[in-house]
Amino acid sequence: MKTLQRTAVSLAAAQLALLCSGLASAQTTPAPAPAAAASAPEAKTQRIETVTVSGRRAALQSAQKIKQEADEIVDSVNADDIGKLPDKSVTEVLQRIVGVTIDRTMAKGDPEHYSVEGSGVNVRGLSYVRSEVNGRDTFSANGGRALNFEDVPPELMAGVDVYKNPSAEQVEGAVGGLVNLRTAMPFDYNGLKGAITLGGNYNDLQGKWSPAASGLISNRWRTDLGEFGALLSLARSKTTTRTDLWQAEPYYNIDGTHWVPKGAQWRDSNFDRTRDGSYGALQWRKDNISSSLTYFESKYRMHWDENALFAQSTPSNLKISSGATYGANGALLTGTLTDPTDGGINFGADTRYMTRDSRTRDLGWNLKWKASDRWSFSTDLQIVKSKTNAFDSTVATGLQMPKETLDLSGSTPRVVFDASDLAALQDKGNYYWAFTMEHLDRSKADSKVWRADAKFNFDSAVLQDLRFGIRLTDRNATTINSTPSYNWAAITQTWQQGWDISHVARLNDPRFNAPVTLHEFKNFFGGQSVPSIYVPAVSLAQGYPNSYADLHKYHDILCAEQAAAQGWSSGCATWAPATFGTDPLGTNEQHEKTQAAYGQLRFGWEDLPMPVDGNIGLRVVRTDMKAAGYMVFKTNAPTLQPGQSIGGVPIPSVTAFAKPLDAGQTYTNVLPSLNLRLKASDQLQFRFAAAQAISRPDFSDMQAYTALSLDTTQHTVGNTVVVDSVALTGKANGNPLLRPVKSNQLDLTGEWYFSKTGSLTVALFDKELKDIIVKQSATTQLLDGAGKPVTFNITSPVNGAKGHARGLEVAFQRYLDMLPGWLSGIGVQANYTYVDSKTKPYDPVLTAYCSGTSTGPENFNLNINGCDTDGRTFGNLPLINLSKNAYNLALLYDYGPVSARLAYSWRSKYLQGVNVNGTNGGDGQLPNAGGGVAWALPTWSDAYGQLDAGVTYRFSDNFSVSLEGQNLNNALARQLMQQHIGFMTRGVNYTGRRYSVQASYSF
């Protein structure tokens, strides 16, 4: 932090010294026309025209111009006005672009929790997406490599560009695509420019307002020392949303014919987010030299809490009422569940409290020099620092009910209550203190980047220019997780009774009087009625670790009673919090340096009947990776008693140890690229692009922690211990030797620009992937006492699969200018994306049935292919987060003082994960009494479409008022779980409609 501050102060002082000295002799001569943003390297901004926008029509016009004149295949969205992108978050803006989809989950790998604003971004079905701000690589400290786009205030952005196929001068790492966020620069405006926007956001489900404000001030001056410009932009917004959820548990085959879930449940989650952004820019130019200094900072503070009632019955003990009804696939439609064996249907009722604070700062300095008509040079320096920390705490009561009546016949799972059910839910004697679970994480990352670029202009009818340069980076990332990551710990559970505790700690027992709340699910699903339940007070979740320690004393009291009754001689086990920052298992420390060089030749045959231009280039990048971690080895070889000997299979002599581990690797990638454009006419052009691209592994997949073990099976014959087998196994949380995912990719486009805001474009693409990262078996070696290598088979992430993503994009937009008067303001915008994908492991793992009761990473078949609750394997799954079909439709209106948009965005169902929380377990049953088995259902997001709208009325050139609405069709987000009886509803999320109003003044 201090380093960044010192660097920022030094660079700012240099720029301000020039600025202040220039102001003393400032002239009143009008400033020249706007210039292209100087913060990005020249290679990215060349041939892209900056257009001052006002209204959606002008925004579409400038975005279309960028696409038409770019050297690469790119799609853009520009701001309607200062601080006014067309959506409330950057992720929602991105989903409007053809080929781009967003994932609406709270966090990667957690499909259980819905996100209103969206989170992850896929380009052409792939998550291998790189992020930039003003042409510079940037990221969030989240264990990955890209920016959390939901952290970025959209009010600071002037536009968003998505590059679909790379060129040699672009930074490597974008197999799926490159997302570049553009901000304004002082020289974008003719002189003094200011804007302020005040607004509010309203959530219909909660009935709450939250404020938002943003502002920009910019000016430029001409002096004897050159031209100077300064810009400052600030934004702050608060958003509150709520998600209500009905959820059904996975279905079990209970009698060979009928499939029954172990219950259904409901919950509400309240989300509060505060997003702050600040951006400043200084520019200077004189004669053939120009310079810029930019500072970008985004702060994101999020808090959400949850109250839920969830089923936790034992499937094999469930009894179904005689009047139950079933569908054609044998799945339960309606019926009542009972569980005499366990004394009732068991539920949990929790209170969850989660907070996350994130901050990313990006400082960049750029200098350009046009040495002559032929030569120009630029250099760029960037420092990025990012950090995040989170606390996630759950405290739960348990609840035993005599029965549970389910209605699964409709589109939403329901639980039906009679008078006795309602009375049972209000009786504290039916509740008990159940469990706690805490999670903590802290991450920080920093990067220092320097690049130098040169361009030589040819005096040739064919050769245009040669661009070449180097780029050096030094990046560090450290993530610390609690160990265990999510530390579930029982307070009292029904299965502990009779051997560990005398009975559960019921709420009506005065000894166990921690605070609880009767939680009301107000306005549930916009008006449904569900009963209130007793949940722990939120102070218990917030009060970790002291509140946890107090709750676990309830277990100690009841355990002491059981010990006294059974005459135990040893004490009861006490609760211990998760470790944080002290266990090497929870720490992932990564260091990465890269050295890249590129050369790119631009050419064109302008005299042909149909002119052709393009570029061909080569980028070579060397990557040095180092990871600091730990290796642990333990031996479980038999211990010989006096007089015993050992025989059978020899046991390697390896001494147990625990030691620090430093792992590293160096690799070089050579990445050619070709971009061609044929201009059939002034309106019609075609493009062909071919390139090789890479996407480096996420840092979270490269943790250097390995646990090895030696295990044996044996039997005894007399005084001889006979070893039957020796297993040398292990598990690695990550693999620091992972290589990048590689792609050979082709693009072919046709682009027809029939007016300034009218175009029809078609694109075909093919990305052939290899070295996709999957979790499978790898090997590592240790030396035995004689110095001979001993090979261990370990489970870890490996570059273990190949695949493809290929498809079609179609986009159309136009205004109906041929119509008279106000009708000429009507416009339409539409796009469609089709993606087909497939993955194939290098070493296929596919058996008809899963085996074992572990859902851990060592269960390859389960993790790769998924398994049903009866053990049957699925297989043939697509890439995660990839929808086969997606489209956007928008009806536009822009005439006079009115600018409006009605936009619908839809994507087909897609795979969210295979072995994820909530749809996995170890309580499955193989057919024909084959025993217990682990299961993990592929979890899908069902097709989802959302209707949004916005209208702006401009009272004058300076003042406007806007009204926007999101999810006006009140869409439900449905989650599916794949089973052999079909795609069954896992959950249905309801978020309600959301509105915002804002007033903007500019000068």
Six-digit token string for 870: 């009866």
The domain spans of the chain are 2-487+583-1002
- Mean pLDDT over each residue of the chain, to the nearest integer: 90
* Over residues 139-151, mean pLDDT: 85
693 burial level (CB within 10 Å; 0-12, 13-18, 19+): buried
Q: Which residues pair with 973 in a beta bridge?
A: 989
Closest CA to 300 of 277, 269, 271, 270: 277
Strands 684-695 and 657-679: antiparallel
pLDDT of residue 425: 94
What are phi and psi for residue 29, nearest 5 degrees?
A: -60, 135
* Over residues 149-166, mean pLDDT: 90
Inform me whether the pLDDT recorded for 466 exceeds 60. Answer: yes
Say what percent of the chain tops pLDDT 70.
94
Closest CA to 468 of 595, 597, 367, 621: 597
Inform me whether the pLDDT recorded for 150 exceeds 90. Answer: no
Q: Which CATH superfamily is domain 2-487+583-1002 in?
A: TonB-dependent receptor, beta-barrel domain (2.40.170.20)
How far is it, in rounded angstroms, from Cα 830 to Cα 824? Answer: 18
Greatest C-alpha distance within the chain: 106
3-state class percentages of the chain: helix first, strand second, coil last, to nearest 5: 10, 55, 35
Least confident of 749-758, 793-802, 994-1003: 793-802
| Cα 519 → chain centroid | 31
Closest CA to 99 of 769, 592, 767, 896: 767
Q: Which residues pair with 178 in a beta bridge?
A: 130, 163
Give the pLDDT confidence of 766-819 residue by residue, as tens digits.
Answer: 999 999 998 887 788 888 888 889 998 888 899 999 999 999 999 999 999 999
Inform me whether the pLDDT recorded for 71 exceeds 70. Answer: yes
Six-digit token string for 564: 């006294």
Give the pLDDT confidence of 404-440 residue by residue, as tens digits.
Answer: 999 999 999 999 999 999 999 999 999 999 999 999 9
606 burial level (CB within 10 Å; 0-12, 13-18, 19+): exposed
Inform me whether the pLDDT recorded for 34 exceeds 50. Answer: no
pLDDT of residue 829: 96
Strands 758-783 and 533-536: unpaired
Q: Are 469 and 597 in contact (CB under 8 A)?
A: yes
Residue 586: what residue type? G
How far is it, in rounded angstroms, from Cα 63 to Cα 74? Answer: 10
pLDDT of residue 85: 83
Any idea what the Cα angle at residue 515 is, between residues 512 and 518, rounded to 5°? 115
pLDDT of residue 47: 39
Give the pLDDT confidence of 323-355 residue by residue, as tens digits.
Answer: 999 999 999 999 999 999 988 999 999 999 999
pLDDT of residue 41: 40
Six-digit token string for 709: 């073990």
Closest CA to 875 of 864, 888, 859: 864
Give the pLDDT confidence of 79-125 residue by residue, as tens digits.
Answer: 887 778 888 889 999 999 999 999 888 877 778 889 888 878 999 99
pLDDT of residue 38: 35
How far is it, in rounded angstroms, from Cα 70 to Cα 83? Answer: 24
Q: Are 277 and 232 in contact (CB under 8 A)?
A: no
Give the pLDDT confidence of 276-314 residue by residue, as tens digits.
Answer: 999 999 999 999 999 999 999 999 999 999 999 999 888
Rg (CA), the chain: 31
| Cα 592 → chain centroid | 22
* Over residues 830-856, mean pLDDT: 90
Q: Which residues pair with 588 in a beta bridge?
A: 479
How far is it, in rounded angstroms, from Cα 360 to Cα 380? Answer: 19
| Ordered strands of the 159-163 beta sheet | 74-78, 159-163, 177-182, 129-133, 136-137
Inform me whether the pLDDT recorded for 45 exceeds 50. Answer: no
Closest CA to 401 of 375, 426, 376: 426
Closest CA to 969 of 876, 906, 907, 894: 906
Q: Are 873 and 847 in contact (CB under 8 A)?
A: yes
Neighbours of 848 (CB within 10 A): 9
Inform me whether the pLDDT recorded for 901 exceeds 50. Answer: yes
How far is it, in rounded angstroms, from Cα 981 to Cα 331? Answer: 7
How far is it, in rounded angstroms, from Cα 420 to Cα 304? Answer: 33
* Over residues 994-1002, mean pLDDT: 95
Q: 624-662: buried (b, 16+ CB within 10 Å) or exposed (e) per residue?
A: ebbbbbbbbbebebeeeeeeeebebeebbebeeeeeeee
680 burial level (CB within 10 Å; 0-12, 13-18, 19+): middle
Six-digit token string for 538: 């939120």
Helices (H), 209-306: none
Closest CA to 397 of 512, 499, 315: 512
Closest CA to 449 of 715, 173, 670: 173
Q: What's the whole-model pTM score?
A: 0.89
Six-digit token string for 695: 């996407």
- Tell me the pLDDT band of 963, cut-offs 50, 70 and 90: very high
pLDDT of residue 569: 59
pLDDT of residue 570: 58
Q: Are 743 and 804 in contact (CB under 8 A)?
A: no
Beta strands in 539-639 (DSSP E): 587-605, 612-635
Six-digit token string for 874: 């699925």
Q: Which residues contact 849 (CB under 8 A, 6 or more apart)?
A: 867, 871, 872, 873, 926, 933
Inform me whether the pLDDT recorded for 374 exceeds 60. Answer: yes
DSSP conformation letters of 430-486: GEEEEEEEEEEEEEEEEEEEEEEEEEEE--SSSEEEEEEEEEEEEEEEEEEE-BSSS
* Over residues 247-256, mean pLDDT: 94
pLDDT of residue 13: 45
Cα distances (Å, whole numbers) of residue 946 to 478, 900, 969, 972: 38, 17, 7, 9
Give the pLDDT confidence of 538-588 residue by residue, as tens digits.
Answer: 999 999 999 999 999 999 999 999 988 888 755 788 999 999 999 888 999
Six-digit token string for 613: 């231009």
438 burial level (CB within 10 Å; 0-12, 13-18, 19+): buried
Six-digit token string for 801: 């699969």
